[in-house]
Structure 1
């Protein structure tokens, strides 16, 4: 099973389930979090906090890292593709260069925790002193790093050697791959953490040596599980997105045009029960994912009854607002739920809005679809 997570302070990714008893506990926690988010819209009528919702992409955001093999076997190659968007941009509305770096080579760390890889990573980070873009990157435990939107690693042949099975389920091993999305230059960071994990040893710096924040730097990891019984898991699939029931085209030349909303951003964030509800004052559109009802696979750990993996969608927009950012697609016991649409209202100013949907399951599978809408 695979999980993707951004490190503390980096933002933008989701932790998925682990293995054995802990894995089932995390699955239940994810279900609770998903249902809680479904019940709590990002913008409600009137009595809202004056801040941007998490579904608004207003900085560098990593949506997901999708593996072609959400479950792997010893000796197999796994290719990862990162999906991100820079909602901040550069001067005069331009785009900033975003560099993505990958570091593999950490398998079965102490405690099976990602921060068990930090001692190896700290040795790598120390070699970044004086490093410039275009220079070769140091290796993590002899495994070559990567650069770009995709990265391939080979799972060790001996990843299951000596691994004992938990109380229930097969023995498992795990391989960690770290990714760094940076709009500046990589550099080492001293450990200033006070918790168990400590500080991620790599940071992102601008041309003047200033450390960049989470709107310009996202660091995280993806965890690949290898099970002794050879189980597999497919990524949940989306066929596309619809706006008010009409499929949104992939071709930019064919994207639809909608009018702007008369309620400005500051008015939408006003605090107080007398504030306007922008979803009443503005024209709203149903944003939905095209899915098959069989999107959820059976849960191989279910013993007492037949259960499905939990599947949900995270929605994002870089312009306009969504009434909520997450919808449950398939429940463990109820199965497929037909209503997984959210409402989107356009911004007050003209522009090209990018709408993103990330379909995830609790066993590490994911898929991403992006479409655009012209506001004019």
Structure 2
């Protein structure tokens, strides 16, 4: 499965799972909303024609208890083309040649949730023997300071070469996330983002204009709390045919679509659920389980729905545990 979006935390991407698994929070590391996070990046057109513009949007969340240094969102100005196996390591070498080291890059990046890129007119033809679609990567960062190019860590050539710096001090993964999104360049292929229409909690549609109230769990062990069913409402039309799938002359497959869930309090049973299978279509019982929280208060619920051709959709909800 080709994942269109991946997050790299801090300086060493290798440390992401190790750092997360050592934490003792009441929900799993993938769904934790207790630090600076980038939960998704999307493009208005996941497949872009040469010479066209496309607008990207990053969904970030600041879950830190101490927000005295505000989280800021940055976009690198460069598009990276055709990295080997779709990985960003090849792009890092290109980027290190374009930015000065150990300097504040604020004047060289775009700040904000959204950014517009111009796809070069020769994005396909400039690369010898490159066929459509051609893979491209764009990069974003959430940082409670400013970005600096510091180079990949010695002995770790695949580590992120950028750092988040505040008053001369490099910040750690609590204050910094560096991420990328894949887009595709094609003259004739297209893809639409998934179109979920809502999320239900125990079968009740969650409102988008006000908090949804429910009783908090009154037991001490969150695993003993009743399981509430979370489900994404999405129509069959969101699953498009994948024109790049299948062997030559063989039947084409459809997209795979999945949703990832994030909460600021409580516990999720699954971090991600497959909604549509490439061969068999809609999956049965595509429900997550949510337990807690064990104290009253506000809960942020965020659902990010992906397809395997860089399509992404965001949904955010406010819950009120009483």
| TM-score (normalised: structure 1) | 0.74
Q: Does 1:187 align with 2:144?
A: no
Q: Does 1:206 align with 2:166?
A: yes
Q: Distance in 2 between matches of 1:155 and 1:294?
A: 28
Match in the other structure for 2:321: 375
Equivalent position to 2:275, from 329, 342, 347: 329
Is residue 358–residue 367 contact of structure 1 (8 Å, CA) maintained in 2? yes
Deviating more after overlay: 243-252 vs 110-119: 110-119
Residues 160 and 124 of structure 1: is their aligned pair in 2 closer, same or farther, counting only changes over 3 Å?
A: closer
Is residue 311–residue 330 contact of structure 1 (8 Å, CA) maintained in 2? yes
Q: Distance in 1 between matches of 2:152 and 2:80?
A: 22
Deviating more after overlay: 214-223 vs 49-58: 49-58
Please, which runs of 5 or more residues in structure 1 have no aligned partner?
A: 13-48, 139-144, 269-277
Equivalent position to 1:122, from 92, 96, 99: 96
Match in the other structure for 2:209: 251
Match in the other structure for 2:79: 106
Match in the other structure for 1:137: 107
Q: Does 1:361 align with 2:312?
A: no
Q: Distance in 1 between matches of 2:273 and 2:117?
A: 32
Q: CA deviation at 1:121?
A: 2.4
Match in the other structure for 1:75: 51
Cα displacement string for residues 72-130 of structure 1 (whole angstroms, at most 9, x for unaligned residues): 1101111000011112232xxx685210110132343674753333344224542652x
Q: Distance in 1 between matches of 2:60 and 2:38?
A: 4
Equivalent position to 2:233, from 280, 290, 303: 290
Q: CA deviation at 1:221?
A: 1.7
User: What are the within-5 Å matches in structure 2 for residues 240-319 of structure 1?
Assistant: 240-252=198-210, 255-264=211-220, 267-268=221-222, 278=223, 281-301=224-244, 302-303=246-247, 304-319=250-265
Q: Distance in 2 between matches of 1:294 and 1:357?
A: 19
Match in the other structure for 1:159: 123
Match in the other structure for 1:35: none
| TM-score (normalised: structure 2) | 0.85
Match in the other structure for 2:6: 5
Q: CA deviation at 1:350?
A: 1.5
Match in the other structure for 1:237: 195
Please, which runs of 5 or more residues in structure 2 have no aligned partner?
A: 14-22
Cα displacement string for residues 117-146 of structure 1 (whole angstroms, at most 9, x for unaligned residues): 3344224542652x38xxx512xxxxxx31
Q: For the aligned residues, what is the CA RMSD?
A: 2.7
Is residue 11–residue 160 contact of structure 2 (8 Å, CA) maintained in 1? no
Q: Distance in 2 between matches of 1:100 and 1:244?
A: 35
Q: Distance in 1 between matches of 2:258 and 2:82?
A: 30
Residues 202 and 107 of structure 1: is their aligned pair in 2 closer, same or farther, counting only changes over 3 Å?
A: closer
Residues 148 and 162 of structure 1: is their aligned pair in 2 closer, same or farther, counting only changes over 3 Å?
A: closer
Q: CA deviation at 1:56?
A: 2.4
Q: Secondary structure at the match of 1:239?
A: strand
Q: Secondary structure at the match of 2:316?
A: strand
Q: Secondary structure at the match of 1:137?
A: helix
Q: Distance in 1 between matches of 2:110 and 2:55?
A: 11
Q: Secondary structure at the match of 2:301?
A: strand
Q: Distance in 2 between matches of 1:352 and 1:77?
A: 39
Is residue 102–residue 150 contact of structure 2 (8 Å, CA) maintained in 1? no
Q: Secondary structure at the match of 2:237?
A: coil
Structure that is richer in strand per residue: 2
Is residue 4–residue 65 contact of structure 1 (8 Å, CA) maintained in 2? yes
